[in-house]
Amino acid sequence: MKKKVAVIGTVGLPANYGGFETLTDHLVTQLGDQTDITVYCSGRRYPKEERRSHYKGAKLTYLPLKANGVQSIPYDSLSILHALFFADVLLILGVAGAWLLPFVRLFTKKKIIISIDGIEWKRDKWSWLAKFYLFWAEQLAVKFSHIDISDNESIQDYTALRYGSLSHVIEYGADHTLKVPVTEKDLLKYPFLSRPYAFKVCRIEPENNIEMILQVFTQFSIYPLVLVGNWNKSEFGQTIRRRYAVHPNILLLDPIYEQRSIDLLRSNAHVYLHGHSAGGTNPSLVEAMYLGLPIIAYAVSYNKTTTEHRARYFSTSEELLEHLLITTPEALAEIGLQMQSIADRRYRWAYIANKYQHLFEKVFEQKGKPQVAPIIKALQPDLLRTYGAAHLNHQKLFFQ
Amino acid sequence: MVLQIILGVTLTALFTGSLLTYLSRLANKFNLLDIAHEQRKIHTDQIPLVGGIAIFFAVCLIFPMVAKTGDGHLDSCYYIFGASTIILLTGIIDDKVNLPALAKLIIQFSVAFFVVQSGIYLSMSHFTFGYVLFPFEKIISIVFMVGLMNAYNFMDGIDGLVGSLFFLFFLWAGLAMYYLQMDHYSLLSFMISGALLVFLNFNFSEKQKVFMGDGGSLLLGFLVGTFFILIVGAKTGSQAKAQDVIGVITAGMIMLPILDAIRVVIARIKHGYSPFHPDRSHLHHILLQITKSHFRITMAVFFAIIIFTVISFVVLALFSISHVLTFWLVTIAVFLFITYSQNKMFQMSNALKFLEKP
């Protein structure tokens, strides 16, 4: 019999938005014939006439709430409660509804798999109250789930450090992005395509180090920077746009939601800049890697593990400028090839979906959460000393 | 009486203002400055520690001028002044030379003993079904006073925090004692709150900043303890409900420093340190993790206490004293949960710096 899986915590399908939605879309595509998937969707994002009962074989259930912000707490909670009536496995993406998990564990035998996303409570974009809630909810999420998923090895280090339990690392896929050759029509619309340019796409938030990168391109003039983002969403974005848009070497574009256009701009870039400092594995970085772009990324551990330490990294504007000036086109091409080979190996949806399918089976067999501390810790230190093995008590673990 | 209070408060406020300006200059000469040499201090300049002295002198000088002679409480008032002098002097000496904690405690206990012997102590006969626990009442009162003054001293770490807590308490104590017809104490309370208002202005200012000093916070904390005992012990005649209301609000006002001190002391002992071991675990340190603005922290704590006492009052008016106690227990649990988690969050985020280091 097919297992019934409820996917909770996304905006919904068909995917138009962030990483979790794209992930769900691909899970449904890849696993549709092995599992019976139900996806909860936000009725606020899908008006009545756009709604459908099924999508690629998955059942869609709409809730009249927003999936983001404060409303994500009742949205996730209601989804969890509803899913208890039919699902065997709850796949919860994000920790907003985690306050319910102790009760779910206490009163039902449903299996819970939760993806904690990045270290959300550390992100500066949240208010103190939101951080506080996320910090606490994440603790419940890890302690009361059967399996927790990190999207990056550095996040796995973090859960090992904080909870002493071993998290499963599953990243994102990128093979939905395509290399798009430039046509005559494209050149009319985007004239900069005819020459090399640096490219970056991101949400316009301080944590993405936009100012640092723009600062560099006011001094660097060999090729221009094209930056796509939601400039008009915040005061911060508008201020920055006003300050830097006048510079001849900088091109600030409004967000592009059409897949071909964004792939066109990305895949023809000379170099891809990635300034994200928060979260774990960023889908935009993975996608750039899959396109074989040479990557210069901000030097946080998440980006380093995503690119397997083989891209170029900067932490100050001086370092970025140096990379741009020194790195030869041959070296850049070499980086691009390496990135592509990593992405081919790790960031394919079929591979990612298989990992999820494996967890859907493993969750029924696993007894208790795997701990990071070695079993030897359970023995008395005196006993170890008696047998001359006290050194076993002082092993360094992978996150130390 | 109202006229007396208005006159007293105005004179005290004016006098405190001029004393603060004068003493700030003098403090440079006598080296009564707080210098940011220790790591846990939050400011960076040299700030005169004269707040407590100025408030005390202003009140001492104006009080005999405006108080009516011949009333019953006047003698007790001078008892309290005497005790205050000793505490203030100890505090000043401590600000200059850092006395050992044990010596300070001994002095504090002797002063509290002196006050209790003069007849000011918590009467607990209604908790013990009429049995008089004679020595215990006095011992508990002494411990309460010493504990409370140190609790307020612990709170003194950022601009305006302890000053505004004192201001709120003495304003309320003035009103309560006016209602209870303890005229001299009421006058004294209002005068102190007037002086504190002026002090807060200096405390928040950039150019003429002064601190209260250990002497000031210990002294005013001691007065809070004394006034608490006086208010709670006062008889309201047949108005039993009024006594409950006054008791609940007064206790609600001093709860935060006590609770935070207990939390900090237990944590220190648990980690194997002395209860007076300096660290960064006080409430204001935890709030500084959230925002750097002293003013916002002070306002948040100030209004949190007002809201807390108003809710306590409403619960008492609608239900009963046992419902108030339930509400308090819930609030205490929430407070402990928030402070504990926030501190943990801060430590965890420091521990995770390695993830973001290049």
Position B179 scores a pLDDT of 87
Q: Is A55's Cβ below 8 Å from some Cβ in B?
A: no
> Phi then psi for A54, rounded to 5 degrees?
-135, 150
User: What does the alpha-carbon distance between residue A316 and residue A319 come to, in Å, rounded to a whole number?
Assistant: 5
pLDDT band of residue B42 (cuts 50, 70, 90) is: low
Alpha carbons within 13 angstroms on the beta-carbon side of residue A385 total 3
For residue B244, name the pLDDT band (cuts at 50, 70, 90).
confident
- Chain CA centroid to CA A241, Å: 26
Of B341, B356, B357, the CB nearest to A135: B341
Q: What is the pLDDT of residue B183?
A: 81
User: Is the confidence at residue B312, as pLDDT, over 90?
Assistant: yes
What value of ipTM does the predicted structure carry?
0.82
pLDDT at B134: 63
Considering only CA atoms, give the Rg of chain B: 21
Cross-chain residue pair B341–A132, CB shorter than 8 Å = yes
Tokens linked to B134:
């004679």
What type of residue is A271? V
pLDDT for residue B30: 75
> Which residues of chain A from 277 to 306 reach within 8 Å of chain B, CB to CB?
277, 299-302
**Reported pTM:** 0.85
**How high is the pLDDT of residue A280?**
84
Say how far apart CA B88 and CA B56 lie, in whole Å.
8
Flag if B352 and A161 touch (Cβ within 8 Å): yes
pLDDT of residue B357: 67
Chain A residue with minimum CA distance to B358: A299
CB contact under 8 A, A300 and B290: no
Weakest-pLDDT range from A291-305, B20-34, B331-345: B20-34
Q: Is the peptide bond before A14 cis (omega within 30 degrees of 0)?
A: yes
pLDDT of residue B261: 92
Contact of A123 with chain B, judged by CB distance below 8 Å, is answered with no
To test the contact with chain A by mutation, choose from B292, B346, B354, B355 the residue with the greatest count of A C-beta atoms within 10 A, namely: B355
**pLDDT one-digit tens code per residue, B136-159:** 778 888 999 999 999 998 888 888
- Name A41's bridge partners: A62
Chain pair A-B, CB pairs under 8 angstroms: 36
Note the pLDDT of residue B124: 65
Residue B205, both tokens: 């200012």
Please report, in tens digits, the pLDDT of each residue of chain A (400 residues total).
Answer: 788 999 998 988 887 767 888 899 999 998 888 888 999 998 888 888 888 888 888 889 999 988 888 889 999 999 999 999 998 899 999 899 899 999 999 999 899 999 988 888 888 888 899 999 999 999 999 999 999 999 888 888 899 989 988 899 999 988 888 888 888 888 888 888 888 888 998 888 888 888 888 888 888 888 888 888 888 888 888 888 888 888 888 888 888 888 888 888 888 888 999 988 887 888 889 999 999 899 999 988 889 999 999 988 998 888 988 888 888 888 888 999 999 999 999 999 999 999 999 999 898 888 888 888 777 777 788 888 888 877 877 777 777 7
Torsion on CA atoms B340, B344, B346, B349, rounded to nearest 10? -160
What is the biggest distance separating any 2 CA atoms in chain B, rounded to whole angstroms? 76
Sign of dihedral through CA atoms B315, B320, B324, B329? negative
CA A399 to chain centre: 21
- B235: pLDDT strictly greater than 80: no
Q: How far apart are CA B306 and CA A23, in angstroms?
A: 49
DSSP codes joined into one string, B122-148: ---TTTTTT---HHHHHHHHHHHHHHH
Cα–Cα distance, B218 to B51 (Å, whole number): 12
Chain A nearest CA to B227, separation (Å)? 37
Closest residue of B to A278, CA-based?
B356
Look at residue B41 in the predicted model and tell me its pLDDT: 58
Q: Are the CB atoms for B237 and B259 separated by under 8 Å?
A: no
Which range, of A112-126, A176-190, B61-75, B265-279, averages the lowest pLDDT? Answer: B61-75
Lowest mean pLDDT among B144-153, B236-245, B300-309: B236-245
Residues B345, A157: C-beta atoms closer than 8 Å: no
Determine whether the interchain pair A300/B338 forms a contact, defined as Cβ–Cβ distance below 8 Å. no
Do B143 and B109 form a contact (C-beta atoms < 8 A)? no
* Distance, CA of B30 to CA of B52 (rounded, Å): 16
Virtual CA dihedral for A180, A184, A188, A193, nearest 10 degrees?
40
pLDDT reported for residue B292: 87
A86: contact with B, CB 8 A cutoff? no
pLDDT at A206: 85
Contacts of B3 (CB under 8 A, 6+ apart): none
Whole-number pLDDT of residue B189:
92
The whole-chain average pLDDT of chain B stands at: 85
Give yes or no for B338 touching A (CB within 8 A): yes
pLDDT band with cut points at 50, 70 and 90 for residue B222: very high
pLDDT grade for B239, boundaries at 50, 70 and 90: low
Distances (CA, A) of B252 to A237, B178, B328: 46, 19, 9
Contact between chains at B355 and A313 (C-beta distance less than 8 A): no
pLDDT reported for residue A7: 92
Residues of B in contact with A302 (CB under 8 A): 355
> Which band of pLDDT confidence, cut at 50, 70 and 90, is reported for residue B69?
low
- As a whole-number percent, the residues of chain B with pLDDT over 70 amount to 90
Mean pLDDT of B240-266: 89
